[in-house]
Structure 1
Amino acid sequence: MDRIRIRGGNTLNGTIPISGAKNATLPLMIASLLTDDTLTLENVPHLADVEQLIRILGNHGVDYAVSGKRLRHDPGSGRTIHFTARTIVDTTAPYELVSKMRASFWVIGPLLARMHKARVSLPGGCAIGTRPVDLFIDGLRALGATIDIDNGYVVAEAKGGLVGNRYVFPKVSVGATHVMMMAASLAKGETVIENAAREPEIVDLARCLNAMGARISGAGTPTLTIEGVEALSGARHRVLPDRIETGTYAMAVAMTGGDVTLEGTSVDLLQSALSALTTAGAAIEATPTGVRVMRNGGGIHPVDVITDPYPGFPTDLQAQFMALMTRSDGVAHITETIFENRFMHVQELARLGAKISLSGQVATIEGVTRLTGAPVMATDLRASVSLVIAGLVAEGDTMVSRVYHLDRGFERLEEKLGACGAEIERISS
């Protein structure tokens, strides 16, 4: 099992290319199930989750071809992958596949819309909360599906096809919004979705679906209107930049000091997180090619944040920001409102010398003047990279184990950081 070793103390200077967004790529890949034509996706990151979803889609009969394979010396150039679901050979998504990645549950929407039936295992994924699928089920039922739970599987059927309707999400859900958009694209009549997620990844999926012939309006607002069509065609679509990767590297620069340009991304993707970084003492500016992040002198100031659906502070950057706050010159508070178990990285940060106390969903971080290297263990995708950020300034060596979590969502992180001066290496077992 691979590990990553970091020797802290170096500032970061240079350029880091930002990959295509994992959280956009996965629903875009799943959208290929909606058509028997070819969907071509550009700027696809090379991640464990992408490879796993390719296997899952293959189980349903999706063929794929890759062009522009990533060269090891060029970690910034994305791949182009062509997905063709000419014939759906199986409408069952089995437990052994779905249990490895929660987002694979989303195939239920396209399968139900196109094939009028689906049998999908209840999902797995990171152990950061229960994340029930009731919102998915209720939404699809509103479109006329009959759904039962049978031996750990969600069994759905829509004889004669799905039918448009109005549905109000009781709470915002990115995944359920993705699924409802895809399902409603092939439903008969108009669907109106209220309290929809507003994330940039939602907008990206809507753009792709519209390029395929869907009629979706309101993406990026709380109200989506979808006029169903009889069939969708193929399309070519470029995946938007990864805002979580952008925020992660911005926080790494704020932690270590230095001057780094994050290429191929935009400040518009995560203004709340960049605003918090500015308050903490980093300088952020938009450039013609991306985002420049600087912290040359001056301490890290404590900043209180509350995670919230977009455009609020992203829960996927909570662990990284907590790592930054461990070196602040005061006391900061982080309130997690999205997932109930997303503080598992606290104990690992404490092994590096961080002072963090928990009370319910609030973490209180008392900044310290020094962190020291130690063996630590990743507990989920975002927690793993928070340990890397802390290790970049810890005295001595930090060894991060179970980095397969990191490989699910960060492409060649050690190469990108190493190119900017970090002393970091992957150790293969």
Structure 2
Amino acid sequence: PDLAPALDAVTRRLRDPDDELGQRFPQLSGAVMAKGVEDTAYYRWSRFVALNEVGGSPAHFGTPPAEFHRNAHARQVRWPAAMTTLSTHDTKRGEDVRARLAVLSELPARWAERVSRWTALAPLPDPTFAHLLWQTAVGAWPIERERLHAYAEKAAREASVATSWADPDLGFERAMHAVIDRMYDEPELYAELTAFAAEITPAGWSNSLGQKLVQLAMPGVPDTYQGTELWDNSLVDPDNRRPVDFGVRRELLARLDAGARPAVNASGAAKLLVVSRTLRLRRDHPELFAGYRPVPARGPAAAHVVAFDRGGPGGGRFDRAGAGGGGSDRPGSDRGGFGRAGAVAVATRLPLRLARDGGWRGTRLSLAGNSVTDVFTGRVYSGSELLLDDLLDTFPVALLAPIDSVEAAA
């Protein structure tokens, strides 16, 4: 309290655009944020490293669907031309690494048992950094040994706890590199790490496809960082600036354009399908992405779906009652103030818990009753309600468009 007068005086100056302090402070605050938080604290706070991302907060564990819908609607109204992205040259770990790590939040007890065992088998003097290292390995596995060594050395020095750029502790770094070598060289440890990563990978793929569809279809101008058209297990730079094999991507895209329907597997072709079809639909039919409203789900697994309609404006009212998945935005109503049917994005959330609870079990999406096509599968749906058991039986995501609007995107 005794600092209140001084803080008030400083605040007045910072809010004055003509004050030199107000002009110079932003020049400093960005650098402090980058070096103090993103490049130091994010390597020290290792409770759940998927949250330690540029623009994010380690204290923010997820966003409920209703909050997401409110934010997306506000974005449509206020910043419809702002960029959306999941990866850049500066992200701390690739989007698909984060998507796989998100699975750990669904099995915390099992993860605690695994990481406790591994840190006991291969101890490191800095247990906080060890937790970051094991999460990184699980999120990116299988990863080339030299890439994990390079990442760990940079991460440890950025953290500036056990070692640093200014004063490297070579003893600690030798111990750290020895732990990494044991991941690859000790058969038991290698087998356990490989098996656990394989166990959570399918749910990670589901998260990856869901977040990619949401990012590409939501309000804003979507950006796809080079190489992320397929699964990307990149870590912090320079790892995320490696050459991209565009030949592989062109070949896979040609197969998709020839009619191949990919499995959700290690090839990453399913992600390329989502990226290419969503971007083509946006390019060829921008009128399908002119507004925003949540699409409600009803049933025992309604909490496991995020769905929204980008239909064109017909008054601009946002139906908050429908934002949480159980609202009053019924077929035959004014559709939340939107006059034209648009593209409807549907994504699965928390896939492990969904499977444990028995799947969709008759959960339905409520639409406006138009005939629509899922641009990922080519299947046609009619009626005012869609069973998610049917809609999401091939992929954990769907992108629905009015039946007469999809040929150019197929």
Higher helix share: 2
Greater relative contact order (CA < 8 Å, ≥ 6 in sequence): 1
TM-score, reference length from structure 1: 0.27
TM-score, reference length from structure 2: 0.28
Higher strand share: 1
